[in-house]
Structure 1
Amino acid sequence: MIAGLLGLALLAGLGYALRWRSNPSPCPYAQRHAINFPRPVITRSRLRDVLQPRSGERLLEVGPGTGYYTGMAAQAIEPSGTLHAVDVQSEMVEHLRTRMRREGTQNVEPIRGDARSLPYPDDAFDAAYLVLVLGEIPDQERALDELERVLKPDGRLVVGESLPDPHFVGFEGLRRRVERRGLAFDARVGTRAGYFVRFDVSPSGEPTDSVE
């Protein structure tokens, strides 16, 4: 009896995951507690190592949610740097604004916006990052175009992915898609099941040396 119920629950969960994967959408605000769980592979310290944020830079975070990585990145670019955090859900934006105010972080600008049409001019940011977000965007290609557009000629893009996220984006396919846009693979940390990867905007269009 118990085994049968567990089997049904597993099938139901699998069916939900498959439907969610075939219909990309952000994590609902009602389920926000799930995105605050520890992330053993895609940790804050690893993101900082790959992103290499520097004081005074202007950074972009796409899909910050409740701000799992936001405070770390904002602190790294103090005192004169600014982090723009763009989320498509107004509830997440307000949650993040409240959290940053409570933590005393003053250099974060939470903004409601769509990754497929970022509200910024060309060459606006030194670096951009998105973690567990790309697969949730209905038009990933357009989002990648937008990220390339708003990055400065010497800018950096970091993407983080990890299973069991139903919207997981594999590294090999992502690398091909990003390199077609003129960004060069620079570094990767993690495993096939969870990783951060960094791409650099190459003004000449030539790839840089990779660092594993």
Structure 2
Amino acid sequence: MVTRRTIRSLALAGVLAALAGVAYALRWRQNPSPCPYSQRVWIDLPRPLISRSRLCEVLEPRPGERILELGAGTGYYTGTVAAAVRPAGMVHAVDVQRPMVADLRARLRERGDDNVAPVHGDGRALPYPDDSFDAAYLVLVLGEIPDEERALAELERVLKPGGRLVVGESLPDPHFVTRETLRERAEQQGFRFETDVGTRGSYFARMSVPPSTNGN
């Protein structure tokens, strides 16, 4: 028999758990960091509002292109983009966590994907020379980087003139970046905003590096 005391105790436990969850989310938001490898199950869940197909619609990857993925994790989007740039294109999948890079490398080996290069690297200091890529993308990643402006500056640096950048964001990610904030910060780093699709709480936005004016 369930007593009133039991019901009150369960209700209190639920409230305390909810408050603990809110506190954890606030602490995580105030201290940007990537999803730990031990919690990778969450980044493998379906993402219907920021799907693989919608990413490709906005990014428009083309055969033969060299594309950078920042914060690849376990490769939720990687294989789809890699397939779009075959046969001669390449995706460089960068992640700051070595276990994520190792996990992705193992998955790629199992699938036989040979046009993806898993790379350990920090978005604030990308290990590539200027003008290295035709396009780049990062999904649910920008807000996890402690210095978003520096990461956007690095992406602008490694993209070729005219290169495309797609950023995906979705709630309830505690590091969610609004479209308005993204546009302001990206334009400060030299990007030109082009378009966005989705809702205020779940979207892809595309920007580009202005074409070179020096005739090169």
How far 1:204 moved relative to its partner? 6.1
Q: Please say if 1:114 is aligned against 2:118.
A: no
User: 1: distance between equivalents of 2:42 and 2:128?
Assistant: 30
- Aligned residue type for 1:164: P
* 1:43 Cα deviation after fit: 0.4
Q: Which amino acid aligns with 2:134?
A: D
Write the deviation string for residues 182-207 of structure 1: whole angstroms up to 9, x where unpaired.
221111111000000000111269xx
Q: Percent identity?
A: 66
Output aligned runs, 1:7-22, within 5 Å.
7-22=15-30
Match of 1:195 in 2: 203
For residues 9-31 of structure 1, the C-alpha deviation after alignment (integer angstroms, 9 at most, x for no partner) is 10000000000001111100000
Give the superposition deviation at 1:181: 2.2
What count of residue pairs does the alignment treat as equivalent?
205
SS of the residue aligned with 1:38?
Answer: coil
Once the two structures are TM-superposed, the CA of residue 93 in structure 1 deviates from its matched residue by 0.2
**Aligned residue type for 2:82:** A
Q: TM-score of the superposition, structure 1-length normalised?
A: 0.95
| Cross-structure match for 2:43 | 35
**Structure 1 ranges of 4+ moved more than 3 A:** none
Check if 1:63 corresponds to 2:71.
yes
From the CA coordinates, give the structure whose radius of gyration is larger. Answer: 2
Name the CA distance, whole Å, in 2 between partners of 1:195 and 1:78.
26
Partner of 2:5: none
Q: 2:161, 2:212 within 8 Å by CA — same for their partners in 1?
A: no
CA distance in 2, matches of 1:31, 1:173: 27
Query: 1:120-147 deviations in whole A, cap 9, x for unaligned?
Result: 0000000000000000001111101000
Contact 2:82–2:90 (CA under 8 A) maintained in structure 1? yes
- CA distance in 2 between partners of 1:104 and 1:204 (Å): 38
Q: Unaligned regions of 5+ residues in structure 1, if any? A: 206-212
CA distance, structure 2, for counterparts of residue 50 and residue 198 of structure 1 = 7
Rounded to whole Å, the distance in 1 between the matches of 2:76 and 2:52 is 8
Taking the aligned partners of 2:175 and 2:120, their CA distance within structure 1 comes to: 22
Secondary structure of 1:41's aligned partner: helix
Distance 1:48 1:187 in 2: 14
Q: Assess if the C-alpha contact under 8 Å between 2:136 and 2:165 holds in 1.
A: yes
Question: Which residue does the alignment assign to 1:210?
Answer: none
Aligned to 1:171: 179
**Within 2, Cα distance between the matches of 1:168 and 1:175?**
14
Partner amino acid, structure 1, of 2:92: H
Separation of aligned partners in 2, 1:182 and 1:26: 25
Q: Deviations over 1:15-54 (max 9, x none)?
A: 0000000111110000001111111210000000000000
- Give the aligned partner of residue 158 of structure 1: 166
Q: Which is worse superposed, 164-173 or 178-187?
A: 178-187
Deviation at 1:2, TM superposition (A): 1.8
**Alpha-carbon distance in structure 2 between the residues aligned to 1:62 and 1:16:** 25
Query: Partners of 2:94 and 2:87 in 1: how far apart?
Result: 21
Distance in 2 separating the partners of 1:150 and 1:162: 25
Structure 2 gaps, min length 5: 1-8
- Tell me if the contact between 2:149 and 2:189 (Cα under 8 Å) persists in the aligned partners: no
Q: Counterpart of 2:160 in 1: which secondary structure?
A: strand
Partner Cα separation in structure 2 for residue 182 and residue 14 of structure 1: 36
Q: Which residue is equivalent to 2:131?
A: 123
